[in-house]
Chains A and B, each alone.
Chain A
């Protein structure tokens, strides 16, 4: 199915852009008249995916993050967040709650948050060439 509206964003993997990315995507989705809770779910999931590009995909350099979002006639929103970073060795393991390859203050909860706040998540990754996270949510909205 073709989206009824779509956007593309390209940004540098600087942590200061985390808030820009989630606000931009949620402002785009706002035209579907989502509830405050739906907007906050989307913001949180986008924030997790973009942060992962910044801290994991490009750990020592600044790379590009490619965001695409599409709105569909039936009320679905699909968001794709892509990097050309280091990739994930074992996607299934990476998506397990509490699994993290970085110590410090990373909790290993990023994918768990994306899974619980969105209806669908798909992760494609290839070591050495990058990762694409696709998120989908059905917007029920304020009316009906």
Chain B
């Protein structure tokens, strides 16, 4: 899996590894959203330290997750 998720009651951290393009972003997005929607954490942290490549799809991924978390007041 290109994303590993660690959840605590208040916070979810998603560690993304490898490459973020339009193709991979789909799976990464689905993995993050399914945890976030289950738990609605106050804080979602996305860790990019193991990302080796990213195009504008990575920017879309961040903006999209911001919208999701914002929608329930996180």
Contact = CB atoms under 8 A, between A and B. Distances in A.
Interface residues of B, number: 17
Interface residues on A, range: 20 to 34
B34 to A, nearest CB: 16
Interface of B: 19, 21-23, 25-26, 29, 53-57, 59-61, 63-64
A131 interface: no
A1 B63 CA distance: 43
Interface of B is mostly: helix
22 contacts: A15-B23, A15-B26, A16-B23, A19-B19, A22-B21, A22-B53, A40-B53, A43-B53, A47-B21, A47-B55, A48-B56, A51-B21, A51-B22, A51-B55, A105-B25, A105-B61, A105-B63, A105-B64, A106-B60, A107-B63, A109-B59, A110-B56
